[in-house]
Each structure stands twice: as structure tokens, then as C-alpha cells.
Amino acid sequence: MSRFRNHTPSENLDRGDAVPTAGGWGVTSAPPVWAIVAVGLLSLTALVAGCGIPAGGAAGGTAGVLARLRPLVAACHGPLNGYVGWDLSGSARRTPSLTPSRLQTLQNVADQVAACTGYLRVVGFSATITDTTVLGEAEFPNSSATEAARILQANRTVTALIASAVKALPSAMDAVSPNGTDVLSQLTLAAQFQAQRTSGTLDLVLLTDGIATTGPVMMNTTSFTDRVARSAATLVPVPNLSGAAVRFIGIGRVAGPGSAQPPSWYTAALTDFYSAACARTRAHCLVTTDYTPGG
């Protein structure tokens, strides 16, 4: 492993196989896809059970489901068009320990879309705009006779959607390139998705470490400082996402809890880049390493 101090500021690292950590530039090999999916399935079981819904989709008590989703209904301002992009490049392949937190965020987003009615699409992405594949999607109509009946049906749809997305991960990783990450291209695809919907507000969530290694800005280099990040953010092409909510979640997190992470200056540069680039879309933006609902 090459140490951080041995790299010159202009040196670019190949294909995202190395990222700066607090102790140096770390290079790790990817575990097999089955290992990542196994972790995801186990995480899904615990996640769904933790919400009061037994794995397999059966209702774990009507009262519990209603208690979880009714507060979200009260917070709605109309239908939502949810678009969740799951980064399937280097970090996901190398670090299955990232899967639980991403699944939890997916659950949170799905619950909110289900509560408000609308549509949710979950995609996996990597190196280019064409390296994007649908993991699952579902519609949440406002069609049941009572609110309680609608919420219970929406909850069943959420459970099935997340299970379908996890099941789709192996084929998705085969379908997209492992060599590179282009995060900003997902803004364009989300804008196209929203344009196809006849109503509702776009709620875009990107689950990614944010380290772009393809596309307009290469970030896997020691020269990607805060100054460079802020300058680059003024130049990259972005779509108009006026009125949308856009969240970049997991920025700078290249491994699970307790593992070495990039130095703070590097994570700050990533955060500043996406904050500035997102602001130019005219969306309501949140860029964060760790995320909790309402944060």
C-alpha cells in the first residue's frame, strides 16, 4: 500500500481503487458479490423486524405499522417522486459493512414516499450515466377507502420493494462497471425521471461516498482540496431541479463504522463540492456523511 505522503499533488489514482484515509491511501480488494448480498439480506431481516414487520412481508401488528407511518402522513405536503441512487462502484464492492446503513436510509425514504403517495424508483449506478440499472420501483396510489387501509397496503408495498431491490443487487453489480464512479450523472437521470411524472415533488437521495473517478471531475487525487472543489463545482453541468429535495448521504464514508476513513480535509472538500454543485440546481440540498430522518 502506498502511503499518502508519497503521492505528489498532481498524481491521480487509477479507477477509484485507492482513496485517502486518515492513515494513508488505502487499497483493498473487493469481496465476492454474494458476500455483499448476504450481508444485505441479513441486514434487511433485522431492519424490517426492527420496524415491527416480520421478514417476509406479513404485518407485524396493524397498530405498529400505523404508529410508524401516520406521523409521516402528517408531514406530507403532497405526492412524492422518490429516486434513490445506490453507488455500486468500489466502496460497495469492497465494503459490505456499508450495506446496513444504506438499507436503513432506503427504508426511511420508502416509508416517506409510501406515506405521502407517489412513486419510488431505486437504481444502482457506477462509472457513467449508462452504468445505471433499476433495482426496483413501485407506485403508491391514494386509492384505498380509508387512510388506515392505504397505509397498510403501502407498508406491504415498501417491504416487497426493498426485498426486491436487495435480491437484484447481484445482477446489478454484474450489469454496471466496477471501475469508476460518476455521481453527478444521477442528477440528470433524476431530472428525466421527474419529467415523466405527471404530478409530485422529486425527492432524490444518492447513497454514495461521493468520490467521483469518472465524469467531469476526478476526485481520487491528493490535489482535490477545498479550493479545487469549490472552483470545480461552479463549472460542472447540472440540471434544473427547482423545488426538489436532494440528499447526498454517505459522503466521505468509504468503510463501515470503526474502520479507517478519509482525513477530515478531504471529506470537507467533497462536502463543499456537492453542496455548491447542488445549490446550482436550485433544489433544497443536504450533503452529509451520516444521516438520520429529519436531519
Q: Which of 289, 85, 277, 278 is nearest to 181 (CA)?
A: 85
Q: Is residue 231 part of a domain?
A: yes
What's the pLDDT score for residue 4? 25
Angle at 258 between CA 253 and CA 264, to 5 degrees: 45
pLDDT in tens, 17-37: 455 544 444 433 444 444 444
What's the pLDDT score for residue 50? 45
Q: Is residue 203 part of a domain?
A: yes
Q: Is residue 11 part of a domain?
A: no
- Residue 53: pLDDT over 60: no
Residue reference for cell 469549490: 230
Q: Is residue 1 part of a domain?
A: no
Kindly give, in sequence order, each residue whose CB lies less than 8 Å from that of residue 139, ignoring residues fewer than 6 positions away: 118, 119
Q: Is residue 7 part of a domain?
A: no
What's the pLDDT score for residue 48? 44
pLDDT in tens, 143-157: 877 999 999 999 999
Residue 294: pLDDT band with limits 50, 70, 90: low
Q: Tell which wins on pLDDT, 15 or 207.
A: 207
Please give the mean pLDDT across all residues of the chain: 82
Query: Which set of grid coordinates corresponds to residue 32?
Result: 465476492
Count how many domains the chain has: 1
Q: Which of 219, 136, 207, 206 is nearest to 180 (CA)?
A: 219
In the DSSP assignment, the letter for residue 269 is H
* CB burial readout 10-20, b (16+ within 10 A) else e: eeebebbbbbb
Q: Is residue 42 part of a domain?
A: no
Q: What domain range includes position 106?
A: 50-288
- Residue 195: pLDDT over 60: yes
- Residue 108: pLDDT over 60: yes
Query: Which residues is 18 bridged to in the sheet?
Result: 27
pTM over 0.85: no
Q: Is residue 97 part of a domain?
A: yes
Q: Is residue 268 part of a domain?
A: yes
What's the pLDDT score for residue 60? 53
What's the pLDDT score for residue 78? 96
What's the pLDDT score for residue 97? 79
Q: What CATH number is given to the structural domain containing 144?
A: 3.40.50
- Overall average pLDDT of the 222-251 stretch: 96
- Residue 256: pLDDT over 80: no
CA distance 68 to 183: 32
